[in-house]
Structure 1
C-alpha cells in the first residue's frame, strides 16, 4: 500500500483537460512533486469548471478529455514512476439541467415508483406526494408560462419530463403540470419548504443516498474501474460529513480499494481528531494550514486588533457569539427546510423546530458520528439550555431520539449540523469578523490568534504520531485567500497601530458605512495588491453578500454595491486612494514575502503529505473562488525552473521565483531523500532574536524559518544561534556550507529568510529511489 510523498493539485476543466495535465507532467516531476492530484473527472453539468455537479457516474467528462485521455495520462504517470489521486463526489449530483441527469430525470417522470426514488433523499409526504422544485420566478402567473413540447414541460429554457399518459388529452400546460410527480414552485420557497436533501443551500445539487448498496455500486463502478485497472492510485472523498454513515461508506470504499490511498475532506474544529474507526489515511490538510499560518502571527498584536475590531463593531466581539448568531440565522433562514424536516421525523415531540435549531446553532463541531461525538452533543445541549431555558423540556424530550444512532432523526441531525456550520461560519461569520482576516480560513478557528513555537512543535509531533499520511495544504480551490495573500495580511499583527491609522484614512477617502466589512475589504485589497479591478469587484460583491448585512444575494443593496464598486474602480486611477494603498503595500511587501517563504518551507517539510496547489510555486495571490481557479501560466514557471536548476539563486521580488526555488528544493529533497524525514524534533535557538525563528529536525533535514520579520528588521539577528549536530551541513536552497555546532542565524539566513539544511555527506551521495511506504490505516481497515 503506497502513499505519495507529495502531491500537485490540478484543476481539470474543458480549458485544461487531462491531456493538458499530461503536458505538464514533466514540469511537475522536475519540480519535485510525487503524485498528481486531480479535481473531479466524472461528467458534470455543461460548462462546469469545478466538476462537483456530477450528472453521470458512468463516464469521464468528455469536456475534460474522456476515458481515452485518462488512459494516456495514467500511462505517462506510470512511466514517470508517479501516481494519481482523484477527487470524488459521493454526496450529491448536479440537477441544474434535469434532462442531462438520467437518474434525476427518471425520478421526476416516475416519482415514488421510480427505481431512483431510493437513490435520492426525498420527503414525499411533505410535498403531498410531489417533489418540490424551486425554479419559478416571482410573478403571480408564472405557471402560465409553461408549455408542453412533446413529452416535456418547458419553462423558459428549463425542461422537465411528463409522466406517461398525463398529457394525452391535450390539457393546458398548467393542468398537465398538476398531474406530475413534481411541483414547480417559487424559488424563494426553497428556504422553508424544500423536500429533498441538497448540498448545503444549493438547490441544483441534490443529495444521493450512497448508504444504499446498489446506489454505492452504480455511483462508484467507473471510479473503482480506474483504481482496479491501475489508472488511479488514490481517492479524495469530498464532503463525507453530508453522508448518512461516513464510517460505513469509508469501510466499503476501502474494501473495494484496499491498496489505495484514501483521504477525506474533513474540517476538524479546534483540537478535534478524525474518528479513529475511519478507514482512511487522513484529511486534506486544512487543520495543518491553520497551524502553519498562526505560528507566523505576532501574538503581541492581538490586543490592539481586538480593540480596533471592537471599535468597528460598536462593542467587543465574541467569536463564539458571532458563530452562534450566524448559525442560528442560517438554521432559521436558508436551511430552515432541513430543520423542519428534522421536526417531522420526531412527531412524538410537538413543535420541536425551535429547539432543534438551537441545538444545531450551538453544536461545537461539524457533526458527530454516533456513538462517537456524544460529548459534542452534550455540549450543545448544555449551551442551548443556558441560552434558552424555555426550551429545556423540549430538548429533554428530543434527546432519546437524537442520541439513538439508528433513529432517522439522529442520522439527519448529524447530516444537518455540518450544513449549518459550513454556511453559518465559513460563508457568513468569516465575512463579518474582520480582526485579522488571514485567520478566517477554511478549517481554522479565527478566535485562535497565534500559536507559539512550542505549541506548533507539539502539534506537528501529534500529526506525525496520529496521522502521518494526512495531507498538508496552504491553498486549495476552497480557500478564502491564497497563501501569499494571507502571509501579507498576517504582517498587520506586527503593526496594528499603523493598520488602524491607514484604515481610518481609507475609510475617510471612500466611506461605505459598514466598518467591519470595510476592514475586511481593505485587508483583501492590500493582501492581493495589485489585483485587477475585475477580480477585486468580484471578491467585494461575493464577500459583502456572504456577510449578509449591508447587502445580500437575494436582495442586493444597489446603492451600497454601487459605492463599493466605485471604490474598487478608483484604485485603478493614480489618485489618493491608490497612492495610499500602494504606499502601505511598499511598507509590508518584503515582510509578506518573508512570511510566504517561511510558510511554504514549513508546509513542505512538516509531517504529513504536502500538497502544492496549481501554480502556487510562485506567489499565490488569489482570493475566494472562482478567483482561485484562474488559469496557470506554466511557460513562465518552466523558465524559472530551468534557471533555478541551472544554479540561479533568484532575488526575493514580485516574480515569486524565490518561492519556486524553495518549493522545488523542498519537494525534491522529500521525494529523493525520504530517510531524512522520519521525525519532528524542535531545534532550539539562543540569543536576542530567538523568538524570530522556527526550526526543527525532521530526522536529518533541518528546517529554519524566519517569523515576525518586521520587528526582526529593526534589530537584526545579532548573535542569535541555533545548535546543530557537529558534522558539516549544506543548505539545499543555496548550496552554502556550514560547520556544525553553534550556527549564527545572521550567516545562515544572509540570503533568504529560510534555510533547508542537510548533512553535507547526504548532499554528496546519490539520492535514493522514490520511497513507497505502507499506508497507516485504522485498525478496522
Structure 2
C-alpha cells in the first residue's frame, strides 16, 4: 500500500461549510501539526443533507458542498502545504427520500425489473408481487395519494408513472402504510432507515458505476485515501476491499468496523485498519477507576429497582429488533432458507424428516440474531462466532432444536444465499439493539456507553493497556485512533468528566438523589443518564444555546431507549416530565446550585482526564484523528449536536496567541504531539511500557514509542487524596530527557515533571 498519514483532522463538509471553506482552514490545520485532512462524504446527496451519507448520484461531487471546483481547490491547497486528503465514502446505500433526486431509483420505480439499474438495488421482487414496497403513507391517509398526468403524488413526495399507464395499480411500486416496513419491506436498507436503499456493489458492473467519480479522484491525484462507511452491510467486504485496492492503486483505506472486545479484524482485508472505536474504548477504560464499579452498579440497581443484567438486556433488545423494525429482513432470510431447502424436500419427506415451518425458521433466525456475539461473521472467518450463536440460541430456546438442526448447515454454507444475507443482517440487529437502544437503558457510568465499547467492561489496568498497544503496534500500526467522531454518543471531554464519577461514586449518588428530588422524572434510571449528560456538557459560558441542546439530547435519548416513549408513539406525559427536569436546570436556583457544586467537584479531575486521554490517543500506536474542533474542549452530545459548526477563526487566533481560551492547554498538547509525529515519525516506530516506582506509581501511564515517551496522569482524584506524586518517578531509558510541552528537563521525578500539565511528552535532549 502507499504511504498513509501520520495524523488526520476530520472536517464535516456541508452546504454551510463547503470544500472551499475547508480549503481555507487548511493553513490552520497545517500549523496545528496535522498531516492529512479527512473529509466527510462528498458525492451528491439529498438536498440540504448536513452529513452526506444519503448519496443520490455517484458521478459527481455534491454542488452544494462545493462541487468539482471545490475539491480541486482543496486538493491544490493541501498539495501546497504538503498535506494528504482522506475522504469518507458510502458504498452500502443511497438516499431515496426524494426519488426524483436519485436517477437510478427513479428509473427503477418507473420501469421495474426492466430498468437498466434494477440490478443495482437489493430487491426481492417476488415478495412484493413484482412491486417495490414503499412505506410512506400515514394513518388513514391513503386518500392523499394522487395520480397526475405524469406522476404519482403523495403530499410533496413525487413518484414516476410507468410508460403507458394511468392508474396506481399499474406501477412497479406500491405506496403502503409506514408501519408495513416492519413486515413487508422487500428492499434492503441501511439499518432500519427506509429512505436509504442498499446497493449491490458485489456486482462488478454496479461497483464500477458506483465508483466512477471516486476513480477520477485517484486518476487525477486529488485524493490519497478513503474511509469506507459501514462495510458490515456489504455482501462480501473482503472482495469489496480488494476491488477498491485495484481501483485506487493500493491507496490507504480504513474501514468503519466496530470490533467487540476480544474480536480481531480479519488480517487478509486490504485495509490499514479500523476508524478507531476500539482504541477509544481502551483509552477511556484505562483512565477509569475500577473501584467505582461496585458502588455505581449498586446505584444503578437501586434506581432501576432490579439487578441489571447487561447481557440479558442486549439479548432481549436485539430480539425485539429482530421481531420488530427489522423483521422484514428476517422474513427475507426465511424465504431464502425455504428456497435453499426446496431441493431437499422430497428426500427429507421420504426419510421421514419433517421440514420446519416458515414461522419456526423465522423464530429460530430471530433467536440466532439476538444471540450473535459480534456484529457479523465473514465466512469462513468468524465461524466460531456463528457456532457460539447456535450454542446460545439452543440454550435459550431448546424447543427450536429441530429447526436449528436444519439451519446450522445452511448458515454455515458460506456460498449460500441465506448465510450471506444472515451475515449482512446480524450487524443491523446489533447496531439497533445495542448502540441505539441498550446504550440508553443502562446508566451505570455513561462514559462507557460508547460506540465500539462494551459498557459491562468497566475498566482495564495499565498492564492490559500495554499488552493491547503492543499488539496494535505489531498488527495494525496504521489503523486510526479516535476520541470523538460524528457518531460518538458523547464528545471526548463529556466522557472525561463523567469518568470522574467512578472516583466519586458517593458524592455522585448524593447529588443525583437531590437532583431527582428537586426535578423528578418518572424513570430515575433514565434520570441518571440524563444528569450525567448534563454534567458532561455543562459549560456556563455556552448557556444561551445549552438549554436547546439538552432538550434535543433528552428527546433523542428517551426515544432511542424506547422503553417509556418512542419515535413513532411518543408518550407526551413522560416526555413532558423529562423536559421539565431539563428546564429546571435553567429555571431553578436550587437545581442549578446542586449541579454547579457537582460540576466544580469534577472540573479539575475532568480536565486532567481530558488532557491525558488526548495525549495518549495522539501518541499511541496508530494514526490519530482529531475530530473537528476537539483541539479545544469537545462537550458535544449525540448527533446532530456533535455536527455543529466549528469556530475556526477563534481556534486560529488562539493557536497564534492572539486570543485566549479556557482549553488553551489542550490545544498546546494537541499541537505539540501532532507536530512531533509529523516532523519526527521515527520517534513513533515501536512500543514499550515505561514503569514507575513510588507511592503513586498506579496513577501514571507511560510508554516509549521508540524515542518519544508519553506520560499521563490517571485517577487524579485518588492521586490528590493520597497526597500527590510524592517520591514517585519514572524508570526512564538511558539518556537526557526533556518535555516538549514545557521545555523542562527531567530525571523522571513526576512531582516536578507534571507540575504544569497532567501529561508530558518526552524526547532525548540530544
Pick aligned residue for 2:738 from 715, 730, 737: 730
- The unaligned stretches of length 5 or more in structure 1 are 168-175, 762-781
1:490-501 to 2 correspondences below 5 Å? 490-501=499-510
How far apart in 2 are the matches of 1:570 and 1:392?
54
- The unaligned stretches of length 5 or more in structure 2 are 342-355
Matched with 1:158 is: 157
How far apart in 1 are the matches of 2:96 and 2:460?
43
* Contact 1:2 1:259 (8 Å CA) reproduced: no
- Note the C-alpha offset of 1:453: 0.3
How far apart in 2 are the matches of 1:15 and 1:259?
33
How far apart in 2 are the matches of 1:144 and 1:302?
56
- Note the C-alpha offset of 1:309: 1.2
Matched with 1:171 is: none
- Note the C-alpha offset of 1:587: 0.6
How far apart in 2 are the matches of 1:257 and 1:211?
17
1:560-599 to 2 correspondences below 5 Å? 560-599=574-613
SS of alignment partner, residue 232 of structure 2: helix
SS of alignment partner, residue 211 of structure 2: helix
Matched with 2:728 is: 720
How far apart in 2 are the matches of 1:745 and 1:368?
46
Q: Deviations over 1:95-133 (max 9, x none)?
A: 000011000000000111112111111111111111110
Report how many aligned residue pairs link the two structures.
741
> Is 1:677 aligned with 2:668?
no
- Note the C-alpha offset of 1:259: 3.6
How far apart in 2 are the matches of 1:737 and 1:744?
10
- Note the C-alpha offset of 1:550: 1.3
Matched with 1:198 is: 189
Matched with 2:208 is: 217
Pick aligned residue for 1:411 from 398, 417, 420: 420
Matched with 2:455 is: 446
The structure 1 segments of at least 4 consecutive aligned residues displaced by more than 3 Å after TM superposition are: none
- Note the C-alpha offset of 1:725: 2.8
SS of alignment partner, residue 231 of structure 1: coil
How far apart in 1 are the matches of 2:325 and 2:71?
39
SS of alignment partner, residue 694 of structure 1: strand
How far apart in 1 are the matches of 2:203 and 2:317?
34
* Contact 2:147 2:168 (8 Å CA) reproduced: no
Pick aligned residue for 1:461 from 456, 460, 470: 470
- Note the C-alpha offset of 1:72: 1.0
SS of alignment partner, residue 451 of structure 2: coil
Matched with 2:573 is: 559
Pick aligned residue for 1:338 from 329, 349, 357: 329
- Note the C-alpha offset of 1:217: 0.3
Pick aligned residue for 2:225 from 234, 248, 260: 234
* Contact 2:519 2:584 (8 Å CA) reproduced: no
Matched with 2:666 is: 659
How far apart in 1 are the matches of 2:740 and 2:17?
33
Query: Bigger CA drift: 345-354 or 678-687?
Result: 345-354
* Contact 1:83 1:233 (8 Å CA) reproduced: yes
Matched with 1:383 is: 392
- Note the C-alpha offset of 1:313: 2.0
> Is 1:547 aligned with 2:557?
no
1:561-710 to 2 correspondences below 5 Å? 561-643=575-657, 655-710=662-717
> Is 1:285 aligned with 2:285?
no
- Note the C-alpha offset of 1:636: 1.4
* Contact 2:43 2:58 (8 Å CA) reproduced: yes
Pick aligned residue for 1:264 from 255, 262, 285: 255
What is the TM-score of this pair, normalised by structure 1?
0.94
SS of alignment partner, residue 594 of structure 1: helix
How far apart in 2 are the matches of 1:482 and 1:539?
13
What is the TM-score of this pair, normalised by structure 2?
0.96
- Note the C-alpha offset of 1:574: 4.9
SS of alignment partner, residue 175 of structure 2: strand
1:52-451 to 2 correspondences below 5 Å? 52-139=53-140, 142-167=141-166, 176-347=167-338, 348=341, 349-351=356-358, 352-451=361-460
